[in-house]
Chain A
Amino acid sequence: GDSVTQMEGPVTLSEEAFLTINCTYTATGYPSLFWYVQYPGEGLQLLLKATKADDKGSNKGFEATYRKETTSFHLEKGSVQVSDSAVYFCALSDLETSYDKVIFGPGTSLSVIP
């Protein structure tokens, strides 16, 4: 079945450091890819998405590119802030095989220190 793998955390960075969180996926169809963020004590928020190969999703300084050839969707940010501390989930949804059912990775916890 479809699945998502992402780098284990926790990740600790200093403010203004560069962030990369690796994500790879396995899918039988042609999925859409997402990054969701969960701030402490809150629900999930969609951070960015990409629906086809080579699409780049971007939001709040974060970006990720849909790489079909490497089945990857790595999250990057050039300069992290303390307010970016949260858990980040890579996810996929394949509308050809399931309606809006989202498959999540295990999450990567990010802590940004001043």
Chain B
Amino acid sequence: DAGVTQSPTHLIKTRGQQVTLRCSPKSGHDTVSWYQQALGQGPQFIFQYYEEEERQRGNFPDRFSGHQFPNYSSELNVNALLLGDSALYLCASSFGGLSYEQYFGPGTRLTVT
């Protein structure tokens, strides 16, 4: 049983560019949450998708957007990249968003130069 998978593992982009990160949830899970972890800090909640809709959102600008597909996989898009967007982006999955427990993927390391 595969856990949460994310792609790519690493990514280098230039300021102003756009990036798309991908996540496949653990088998049986239908809810995907995205977190940003800056170096040396705890993860910060970006948003959560359930039934292909954004259900809740953290304190992130509209440059951060997402999508969930019918197979429950999800994408995180960031437009107009800033140097401060450099971070580890973590995807977490759960069932129904009411499971008390999330499973995290290994993350995508984004570097903006």
Question: Is A99 a contact of B97 with CB atoms below 8 Å?
Answer: yes
Contact of A16 with B by CB under 8 A: no
Which positions 67-114 of chain A face chain B at CB distance < 8 Å? 89, 91, 93, 95, 98-107
Annotate B26-45 by CB proximity to A: 1 below 8 A, 0 otherwise: 00000101010000111111
Instruction: Give Cα A12–Cα B107 distance, bound, in whole angstroms.
Output: 27
Select from chain A the residue with minimum beta-carbon distance to B94.
A100
Select from chain A the residue with minimum beta-carbon distance to B41.
A106
Q: How large is the interface on B (under 10, 10 to 19, 20 to 34, 35 or more residues)?
A: 20 to 34
> B11-19, B48-56, B68-76, B79-87: which lies at the A interface?
B48-56
A-binding residues in B (CB < 8 A): 31, 33, 35, 40-45, 48, 50, 55-56, 58, 90, 92, 94, 96-107
Besides the known contacts A103-B45, A107-B41, 19 further A-B residue pairs in the complex with CB atoms under 8 A apart: A36-B104, A42-B106, A43-B104, A43-B105, A44-B92, A45-B104, A51-B100, A89-B42, A89-B43, A98-B56, A99-B97, A99-B98, A100-B92, A100-B102, A102-B33, A102-B43, A102-B45, A102-B102, A104-B44
